[in-house]
Homo-oligomer: A and B are copies of this chain.
Amino acid sequence: MVALTGGLTAGAEKRHSEDVKAEVTMTPMSQAPASFLERLSARWSGHHTLLCVGLDPDPARLPRPLIGRPRALFEFCRDIVESTADLACAFKTQEAYFCANRAQDQLEEIIRYIHQHHPGVPVILDGKVGDIGPTAEQYAKEAFERYRADAVTLSPLMGFDSIEPFLRHPHHGAFLLCRTSNAGGSQLQMLDVGGERLFERIARLTVTEWNLNGQVGLVVGATYPTELARVRQIAPDLPLLVPGIGAQGGDIDATLAAGLDTAGAGLVINSSRAILYAGSGESFALEARAAAVETRDRIEAARERLVALSSDRE
């Protein structure tokens, strides 16, 4: 049985968001497991969470205390990180919010901050890039050397040529778009490609040809639990990054029932807006924490129920 540390921490008593600190177990860098999947697994099992907190800082939706501050995107993300790091199996930074607003330096800074203060929590850089040859090598350099992300999201439309350059970084991971959470995703991903759908082919190619060294996972939306179950069937051991709960309406119970692996883990369930924008005033970080606690707890409750059910059957 998992001891959930839900509710607000000592930081709840502090008024200013900058001072909010969550209870976080610090792990020295030297103890960090070697591969991205090992680092993820350590969070899934050791910290009892499948929740990924998405850092998509929209300048138009900043909490009031941060509006007008020169490094508002970094400060916003830092406060969210401090409020949620103990609840997160990973953070996912969406680069568009930083790049559109001339704030790549703040993206570098928040990832550095996470590594320094919460070294056990891997960071996924969400850019969904897909290119080949020297250009793909530059994208890998950007993600892993400049930003020091632990993993990336990639679009596999250009095939393995666009994935392989990222796999040359053995300690890092890559999640490939497979069945995305949006309705329009069906236009290509649900096409029948000869006995199976395109998203199933992507999952199958990943398992049989592309995942050379256990570095690759798939992106499958929580809004399509039937397809999520199908991907889990094809790829029983792959980590799945699952957007679509929260603002997009995906159901947590259905997601876990469809997507848990045989070890009762294997999911990186992302929530961005429902946590980031839970509050908009002085106490935004505490409200973000409360939303993250609630989501993490609902996920863990469903997880424990399903794992117990599965043990009963054995």
Contact = CB atoms under 8 A, between A and B. Distances in A.
A158 interface: yes
A142 B193 contact: no
B100 A188 contact: no
A192 B189 contact: no
Number of copies: 2
A200 to B, nearest CB: 11
Nearest to A156: B188
Interface string A150-180: 0000011111111000000000000001001
A211 interface: no
Contacts of A146: 99-102
A134 interface: yes
Q: What size tier do the contact residues of chain A reach?
A: 35 or more
Contact of A191 (B101, B138, B193): B193
A135 to B, nearest CB: 5
Interface stretch (A7-15, A123-131, A228-236, A284-292): A123-131
B132 A180 contact: yes
A142 B96 contact: yes
Contacts of A142: 96, 99-100
B134 A159 contact: no
Contacts of A102: 104, 146
A202 B187 CA distance: 9
Interface in A177-209: 177, 180, 182-189, 191-194, 198, 201-202, 205
Contacts of A99: 99, 104, 138-139, 142, 146
B132 A157 contact: no
A242 to B, nearest CB: 15
Contacts of A188: 156-157, 159, 198, 201-202
B159 A56 contact: no
A204 to B, nearest CB: 11
A94 interface: yes
Contact of A193 (B127, B132, B158, B192): B192
Interface in A91-130: 94, 96-97, 99-102, 104, 127-130
A58 interface: yes
B58 A134 contact: yes
A184 B209 CA distance: 12
Task: Determine which residue in A58, A135, A180, A205 has the highest number of CB atoms from chain B within 10 A of its CB, and name it.
Answer: A135
Nearest to A96: B138
B138 A159 contact: no
A193 B198 contact: yes
Nearest to A205: B187
7 contacts: A96-B138, A97-B138, A128-B129, A130-B130, A161-B185, A187-B205, A191-B201
Given A133-B182, A159-B187, 8 more contacts: A56-B134, A56-B135, A96-B131, A99-B138, A128-B155, A156-B188, A158-B185, A161-B185
